[in-house]
């Protein structure tokens, strides 16, 4: 019987994890990086709610911070699962993704959902990355 590979919990300096959290934002097993669903937490947008485009930009920057804290770059991100509360916002999400990533883009799934954890949230993104390869290096 083989010994399971150790899992490393990663915390980005700009995204501290609260003691009350019952999940990890980022885990690394070997060279695989898995991120929990990332949102534009409404606590940081108390003064003015953000639209879906702006929330997506905030989320992608949080994802970048976590992947970099794990030792990677944006080019190591190979898969996104995006949840939106209004499927009509797909173009706003796409605009932010196009500004953030370069060809070849990560694989992606877009799912319409009824609600997210806070009413002001309109988008949440799961991300997966691998330190073994970079998308642009394979182009």
| Strands 32-38 vs 26-29: parallel, antiparallel or unpaired | antiparallel
Which pLDDT tens digit goes with each residue over 92-116?
999 999 999 999 999 999 999 999 9
Which pLDDT tens digit goes with each residue over 22-69?
888 999 999 999 999 999 986 655 566 899 999 999 999 999 999 999
CATH superfamily of the domain spanning 24-134: RutC-like (3.30.1330.40)
Structure-token match 């060809």, residue found:
103
| Strands 26-29 vs 7-9: parallel, antiparallel or unpaired | antiparallel
């Amino acid at each position: 019987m083989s010994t399971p590979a150790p899992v490393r919990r990663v915390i980005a300096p700009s995204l501290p994890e609260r003691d009350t959290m019952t999940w990890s934002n980022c885990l690394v097993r070997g060279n695989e990086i898995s991120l929990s669903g990332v949102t534009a937490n409404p606590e940081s947008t108390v003064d003015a709610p953000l639209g879906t485009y702006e929330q997506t930009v905030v989320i992608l920057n949080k994802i970048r911070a976590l992947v970099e804290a794990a030792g990677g770059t944006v080019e190591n991100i190979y898969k996104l699962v995006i949840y939106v509360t209004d499927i009509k916002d797909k173009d706003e999400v796409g605009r932010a993704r196009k500004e953030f990533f370069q060809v070849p883009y990560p694989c992606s799934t877009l799912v319409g959902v009824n609600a997210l954890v806070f009413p002001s949230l309109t988008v949440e993104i799961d991300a997966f990355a691998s330190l073994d390869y970079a998308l642009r290096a394979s182009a």
